[in-house]
């Protein structure tokens, strides 16, 4: 979710669900230790519960970053052992670490030694064309022995050669049964399934076999799905009544950020897909993507976008029977 689930996206998603746990985009240890750590770690208090997802492989560096995350107030540190991109592999982290379970375990142990918040692992079910579950189970055994009790498992292998990151999300087959079996084999662990899940009905089905479901790109590119999470999966009232209500609940945050000097587009780019599937959605997207760039554009543009959405919907002539 690089360049997607930044703090503004997470704050918008929090409007849609009070209960879902939010995760940052993967942030490398190098970015925190040698870059602008305050910028990468910043989040709004309303985001809780929120987890920092780390990419790295050196235990000492991971420990230093874990301390930073704990001091910043994060609720969880999640070590990414699932990203298959070439850039990540060249830094010796991500999915290639599935081949080094002892190193992953050392990293988990180092992080747990310096902070009290949970340390979790996100992984794939395997790497390359080896479809046995042995590598996954070896990784889980090693890291659970180091103190990790929660695993988020993307139910695809990561092919480390020959596929782009996008292709790695589509071509290796989904094998949810491997994740379900892991839960049966290790009922003492919290097992969360990820990958290709697109509806709340699918979430409910998976929750019969595992402890949780992670939604990635579906939550971002179809954010209105998240508005049903609290009621459907937690039995709580939905936090918003309509998409327009969600926009208006987000507006005070947008106004405060714009007043602090944040470009309006930093927020509106995460809202483009909110009206997905509705008549007039194109007018909504056009207003947010084009007009938000105008000098002096502010939070009032969101209200204008809602008006243009309704005007576009009203102008649609029903097809004759």
Q: Which residues of 114-147 are buried (b: 16+ CB within 10 A; e: fewer)?
A: ebebbbbbbbbbbbbeeeebebbbebbebbbebe
d(CA 195, CA 219): 12
Q: What string of DSSP letters covers 272-316?
A: GGGGTTSTTHHHHHHHHHHGGGSTT--THHHHHHHHHHHHHHHTP
d(CA 165, CA 182): 25
d(CA 250, CA 104): 39
Candidate list 65, 83, 115, 203, residue with the active-site label: 83
83 is known as an active-site residue? yes
Residues with a catalytic annotation lie at 83
């Amino acid at each position: 979710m690089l360049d997607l689930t930044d703090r503004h996206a997470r704050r918008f998603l929090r409007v849609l669900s009070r209960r879902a746990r939010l995760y940052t985009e993967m942030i490398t240890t190098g970015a925190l230790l040698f870059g602008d750590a305050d910028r990468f770690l910043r989040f709004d208090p309303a985001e809780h519960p929120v987890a920092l997802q780390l990419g790295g492989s050196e235990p000492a560096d991971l420990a230093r970053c874990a301390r930073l995350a704990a001091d910043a107030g994060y609720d969880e540190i999640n070590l990414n052992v699932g990203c298959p991109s070439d850039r990540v592999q060249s830094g010796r982290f991500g999915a290639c670490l599935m081949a080094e379970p002892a190193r992953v375990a050392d990293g988990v142990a180092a992080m747990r030694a310096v902070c009290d918040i949970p340390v979790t692992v996100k992984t794939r079910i395997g790497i390359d064309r080896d479809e046995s579950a042995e590598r996954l189970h070896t990784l889980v055994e090693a890291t659970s022995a180091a103190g990790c009790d929660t695993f988020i498992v993307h139910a695809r292998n990561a092919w480390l050669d020959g596929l782009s990151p996008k292709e790695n999300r589509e071509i290796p087959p989904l094998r949810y049964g491997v994740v379900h079996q892991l839960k049966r084999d290790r009922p003492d662990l919290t097992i969360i399934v990820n990958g290709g899940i697109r509806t709340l009905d699918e979430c409910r089905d998976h929750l019969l076999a595992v402890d949780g479901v992670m939604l990635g790109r579906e939550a971002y590119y179809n954010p209105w799905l998240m508005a049903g999470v609290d009621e459907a999966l937690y039995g709580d009232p939905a936090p918003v009544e309509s998409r327009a209500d969600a926009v208006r609940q987000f507006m005070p945050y947008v106004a405060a950020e714009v007043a602090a000097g944040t470009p309006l587009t930093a927020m509106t780019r995460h809202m483009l897909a909110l009206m997905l599937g509705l008549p007039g959605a194109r007018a909504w997207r056009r207003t947010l993507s084009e007009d938000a760039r105008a000098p002096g554009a502010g939070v009032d543009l969101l209200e204008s976008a809602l008006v243009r959405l309704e005007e576009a919907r009203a102008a649609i002539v029903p097809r004759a029977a």
